[in-house]
Amino acid sequence: MQDIFAAGTESSAITTEWAMAELINHPEILNRARKEIDSVVGKSRLVQESDIPDLPYLQAIVKETMMLHPAAPLIMRESSRDCEIQGYKIPARTRLFVNVWAIGRDPNLDQPN
């Protein structure tokens, strides 16, 4: 159980580190996020979970960080039935690797086939 807890904590910490690294490298985005937080939360308290729906720019930063720097960049799945993907025949029970890292960097992501 401790290993599961540690793994969950570590992936959250790494995602937070990536977000901070990206914000340091993009100060204009950091400043816009700070302005949004200041306008919604103010400067006298910390952000609370109930504030999150009112912070769309901050939400976008989190989603973008998770897309660019996924905690699990390569995941394994298993096909449940025979199928065909872009001309490739995939038999049932075939183990497949999904490159989440590459998907997050696909320039056509906003306009899939």
pLDDT in tens, 48-75: 999 999 999 999 999 999 999 998 899 9
Predicted confidence at residue 44, as pLDDT, reads 95
Rounded-to-integer distance, Cα 4 and Cα 68, Å? 24
Average pLDDT value over all residues in the chain: 91
